[in-house]
Structure 1
Amino acid sequence: MRILTVGWVTYASYYFGRVNFSAAIPEIRDNLLLSSQQIGMLGTGFFLTYALGQMFSGYLGDRISPRRLVFAGMILSGLMNLLFASTGIWAVMFIAWTVNGVCQSTGWAPVIKVLSNWHRPEQRRKVAGIFATSYVAGNAVTWTLMGWIIVYTNWRAAFWIPALIMWAIALIWFVFIRDDPAEVGFEEQFSSNARHGIPNILQNLKRFWPLAFAAVTSGFILFSLVIWLPTYFVENLSVNTGTAASLSSGLPIAGIFGTIAVSWLISSRFSGREVYFAAAMYSSVSILLASFPTAGISAIGSFSILILSGAILYGAATIITTIIPMLMRDRK
């Protein structure tokens, strides 16, 4: 239970140094007189390096230990947040936020690795479902908290404070987590048959390209919402940053319920059919989002579609990025 709790809090805390950018976009743009294109480039730089880093973070975790990788990633991410907030030069901000994408990519795969090491195969569906709520909760808390911090202080504080939070959580992780039971004297119960190395990463991409394609395409949608949703509410509802961030939190909050519902359905009704269930969810969310421009004329209609889409997107992401990887840990 301790491993799951610390892992949950740790990964949720990564979001303090990630989606704080989204909450701060309206103030950054207005204060530094940046264009929407320049803001978009900042987000693009982050997510490109984040996506590439995700491919290799699991491999690096095997080489230098997940515990050390997560600790280093959180410390460096905090430093990049400080650098980002300490300048008003776009080029420096771009470099800092792009490097932050690499730092942020050190979280998911290594934490999943540790959780898999400490839990039996029959426990992993339940563990995966609980752990998957960490990133939606982290997203919701960060948006709400940082939005109101910006209102009562300034946009730079929304990067200084997350740096301090991540450093504190990184220390807790390093003190209380061990990579596997053998490190604290327990017998190694869950040996892995998985092979590691760069060639195996490429081989896995070839074998599991449908899952990778689903993760990438849903990521495009989800990350677009994550970056621009607070700004959308500021511009279309004429509310302040705090209110916009709080309204945006409805997306990940809906995702929490979607994640819990999917985890229950997988455990009780769709065990062994996870991929088919995820495909059905992605199909339904495609229909929902296709209707978004029409509903956009109504604030209630567009908000309702976003909430429902969030529940489905986060729920499907739980299957692709958490449940299936944990279940496949010991498979060749």
Structure 2
Amino acid sequence: MKEENESRGGMLIALCTICYFMSYLTRINYGAVLLEIERAEGISKVAASMAVTGSFITYGAGQLISGWLGDRLKPEKMILAGLLTTAGMNLLVPIFTKPGMILAFWCINGFAQAMIWPPMVRIMSACLDGDTYKKAVVRVTWGSSAGTIAVYLLAPACIRWKGWKSLFFLCAAGAICFAVVWIKGVPAAMKRAGEARNRARDGTGSTPRLTMAGTGRPGRLLSKSAVLVLVLVMPAIVMQGVLRDGITTWMPSYVAATFSLDSSSAILSGVVLPIFSIVCLEITSVLNRKLIRNELLCAGVVFLTGFCGSLLLAFLSSVHVLVSVGLAALVTGCMYGVNVILVSMLPAFFQKKGKVSTISGLLNSCTYVGSALSSYGIAWVAQEKGWQSVLWLWALVAFVGTLLSLLCTRRWNVFKTDAS
């Protein structure tokens, strides 16, 4: 029955993975060509980074709203609205290139992007059994890595072909095409996956209802142990967001400034980061499911690995471009691993409370608080203090994240017992 459930859920997982791929394709493309926009449009580093900061802020705030709505509205329709809106914003950015206009469009894009992940978590948690869900969130997160790889491969080619603007037109076209595939394919995929899950669980073939707390009643208040865990986990996720998106956004600029590379070569170096993140995601998944079996302890171990990598990067920052890129890839990969544990796997434990989408939105918003801090903060530190200070800042952030994750381990076990 388990094999049948995984097979039946395959189409749903595939659609969610491609959806997340398109989400990243239309979200991080601006950051990928940030350096080229600065040069081509004559915009300062801080002014150009404001659009990234604004989108992170609206994405983080939108996660809270989307998470709450995702437990109450049809999640597949919310995702469709997000895809179509982000496609529209990607079409407008290359047409209206004044910094203020780009800032406005990219802030709207951030909010539209927030309509994708919390509803998607709700769909997967409702239609897949527990073990399949844990594997599915890793596969879906591959979509983010694949999207990042695609952007960092497409960006240099587009710059050399028709300029940075062509990247946005290409990404918008892809989002529109997939939106059609999504709305036509996802209802049937949800039905098949849910029926297979119910047969495996209780022998029925009924279609699952996406209801609050699995009972049709409003979600109940969280326990004291759950609140205490969230209080510690949320700032740890902020630290993860600072590192994951900060390094992804500013790595090309750091490489270009330190090793005197042109825009296309510096952007291309960013491909290494998401490739390594896929490996780290798989290692983290195996550690969590088969060895450590405590999500917060697993996150702490992965965070500690990232801290060691960031320390080495600070000490060896100017040795060779391959050393810097490799260590940055290690740290970013570790942060992807932390993200899949803290943001993707933890919300599923709130299924009985009817707050899967709400908690998913809350935790994911913390990632983008960190992302917003990093996009503007790193630009300021780099401009005022230099890139070496940025590297030491990354090491400090990784150390704080490690401590916060490890402090949660015992309380998390108490909560898991209460939630089971």
* TM-score > 0.5 by shorter chain: yes
* Partner SS for 1:269: helix
% identical aligned pairs: 21
Of 197, 206, 228, 1:187 maps to 206
Q: Residue by residue, what CA displacement relative to the aligned partner does 1:121-154 show, whole Å, maximum 9, x if unpaired?
A: 2322222222222211211112211221122211
* Partner SS for 2:119: helix
Structure 2 CA distance for aligned equivalents of residues 133 and 327 of structure 1 = 22
Q: Does residue 253 in structure 1 map to residue 272 in structure 2?
A: no
Structure 2 CA distance for aligned equivalents of residues 81 and 189 of structure 1 = 35
Of 161, 179, 199, 1:170 maps to 179
- How far 1:167 sits from its partner (Å)? 0.9
Q: Does residue 159 in structure 1 map to residue 163 in structure 2?
A: no
- Kept in 1: contact 2:284–2:337 (CA 8 A): yes
What is residue 293 of structure 1 aligned with on the other side? 314
Q: Does residue 116 in structure 1 map to residue 137 in structure 2?
A: no
What is residue 324 of structure 2 aligned with on the other side? 302
Q: Does residue 316 in structure 1 map to residue 338 in structure 2?
A: yes
Of 19, 22, 31, 1:22 maps to 31
Normalised by the size of structure 1, how large is the TM-score?
0.90
Of 85, 91, 99, 2:94 maps to 85
- Shift of the 327–141 alpha-carbon distance from structure 1 to 2, 3 Å rule, reads farther
Q: Does residue 5 in structure 1 map to residue 24 in structure 2?
A: no
- Kept in 1: contact 2:194–2:207 (CA 8 A): no
* Partner SS for 2:33: helix
- How far 1:103 sits from its partner (Å)? 0.8
* Partner SS for 1:106: coil
- How far 1:82 sits from its partner (Å)? 1.4
- How far 1:207 sits from its partner (Å)? 5.4
Q: Does residue 281 in structure 1 map to residue 302 in structure 2?
A: yes
- Shift of the 29–265 alpha-carbon distance from structure 1 to 2, 3 Å rule, reads same
- Kept in 1: contact 2:17–2:143 (CA 8 A): yes
Tell me the amino acid that sits aligned with residue 91 of structure 1: G
Tell me the amino acid that sits aligned with residue 80 of structure 2: F
- Kept in 1: contact 2:127–2:194 (CA 8 A): no
Structure 2 CA distance for aligned equivalents of residues 147 and 204 of structure 1 = 46
Of 67, 70, 73, 1:61 maps to 70
- How far 1:326 sits from its partner (Å)? 2.9
Query: Number of paired residues?
Result: 329
Q: Residue by residue, what CA displacement relative to the aligned partner does 1:221-260 show, whole Å, maximum 9, x if unpaired?
A: 1111122122223333333433322211111111000001
Structure 2 CA distance for aligned equivalents of residues 165 and 196 of structure 1 = 37
Structure 1 CA distance for aligned equivalents of residues 311 and 56 of structure 2 = 24
Tell me the amino acid that sits aligned with residue 187 of structure 1: S
- Shift of the 323–187 alpha-carbon distance from structure 1 to 2, 3 Å rule, reads same
Tell me the amino acid that sits aligned with residue 257 of structure 1: V
Structure 2 CA distance for aligned equivalents of residues 196 and 53 of structure 1 = 22
- Shift of the 163–327 alpha-carbon distance from structure 1 to 2, 3 Å rule, reads same
Structure 1 CA distance for aligned equivalents of residues 106 and 208 of structure 2 = 40
The unaligned stretches of length 5 or more in structure 1 are: none
Structure 2 CA distance for aligned equivalents of residues 204 and 50 of structure 1 = 24
- Kept in 2: contact 1:148–1:241 (CA 8 A): no
Tell me the amino acid that sits aligned with residue 167 of structure 1: I
- How far 1:60 sits from its partner (Å)? 1.6
- Shift of the 196–47 alpha-carbon distance from structure 1 to 2, 3 Å rule, reads farther
Q: Residue by residue, what CA displacement relative to the aligned partner does 1:67-115 show, whole Å, maximum 9, x if unpaired?
A: 1111111111111111111112111111111111101111211111111
Alignment of 1:76-155 (within 5 A): 76-155=85-164
> Which moved further from structure 2: 317-326 or 66-75?
317-326
- Kept in 2: contact 1:80–1:100 (CA 8 A): yes
* Partner SS for 2:245: helix
- Shift of the 270–77 alpha-carbon distance from structure 1 to 2, 3 Å rule, reads same
* Partner SS for 1:63: coil
Structure 1 CA distance for aligned equivalents of residues 319 and 267 of structure 2 = 19
- How far 1:180 sits from its partner (Å)? 4.8
Structure 1 CA distance for aligned equivalents of residues 178 and 249 of structure 2 = 24
- Shift of the 13–141 alpha-carbon distance from structure 1 to 2, 3 Å rule, reads same
- Kept in 1: contact 2:12–2:193 (CA 8 A): no
> Which moved further from structure 2: 185-194 or 63-72?
185-194
* Partner SS for 1:140: helix
Normalised by the size of structure 2, how large is the TM-score?
0.72
Tell me the amino acid that sits aligned with residue 122 of structure 1: D
